[in-house]
Amino acid sequence: MKRVATIVLGTLIMAFGYYYLNEQFGLAEGGFVGLALLGRYLFDIDPAISMIVLDIPFFLIALWWKGWRFVGQAVLAAASLSLSYAMWDRLDLLTFDIQVWPATLFAAIASGIVTGYGLGLVLKSGGATGGDDLFALGLSKWTGVSVGTILIIFDVIVLAISLIYLPLSNALYTLLAVSIAGRVVTKMLTEDVVEVAVPSVTKLKTKNDLA
């Protein structure tokens, strides 16, 4: 139950960053979301449909690779992320009127930290928010390259292609955000969990569920 709660919390944090930072400051998306937006621009395909089409093969591979429990947690995370985004959209708690330099720079930095932390929680708990996360997990296990680094490389490729329709400034700000997010994810997945106790500090050696 704690694992499920952590996955839901992680998606709530991610969706907060996507809606209140990326959305309001015109930052784009990397990964499969970015590909879905590109598909809408080039072929007028509904992103909701194209994202499902992109995700399905990786969920099927994950079913063979990790089993029903992992896929169930991944589906939970993906659904929770969508519902969380809809919730933040409906609540609309924050509105930022200043969306130019340096506010956009600060928003990109904040987005990277917030979304990276949220995704880190999801991945550490054995979930994945979409096919691109599953792709990064599988490739990381095969190559030994960190998940965060793979996510950054994939996002850079998608953003480079998205320059077909995306202003360069938005792409660069988004690149900064996804780079920070990737570093945050890497740090969360590779470092020990530190528990602060009074009066001492105890390091807890935790098994990486994704290994």
Closest by CA to 127, choosing from 188, 183, 32, 209, is 209
CA dihedral of 21, 156, 181, 7, whole degrees rounded to 10: 90
Nearest to 36 by CA among 14, 52, 12, 20: 52
pLDDT above 70 for 93: yes
In the predicted model, is pLDDT for residue 89 greater than 90? no
For the stretch 168-208, pLDDT in tens is 999 999 999 999 999 999 999 987 443 333 333 334 344 44
Q: In 10 A of CB 163, how many CB atoms?
A: 12
Spatial distance between the Cα atoms of 70 and 179, rounded to a whole number of angstroms: 26
Residue 190: what residue type?
T
Residue 32: left (phi > 0), alpha (psi -120 to 50), or beta? Answer: alpha
pLDDT at 68: 87
- Do the Cβ atoms of 21 and 105 come closer than 8 Å? no
Measure the CA–CA gap between 36 and 150, rounded to whole angstroms. Answer: 19
Which 8-state DSSP code applies to residue 18? I
Instruction: Output the pLDDT for position 16.
Output: 95
Number of alpha helices (DSSP H) and beta strands (DSSP E) in the chain = 8, 2
- Per-residue pLDDT band for 123 (boundaries 50, 70, 90) equals very high
What is the pLDDT of the chain when averaged over all its residues? 85
Note the pTM of the prediction, 2 decimals.
0.81
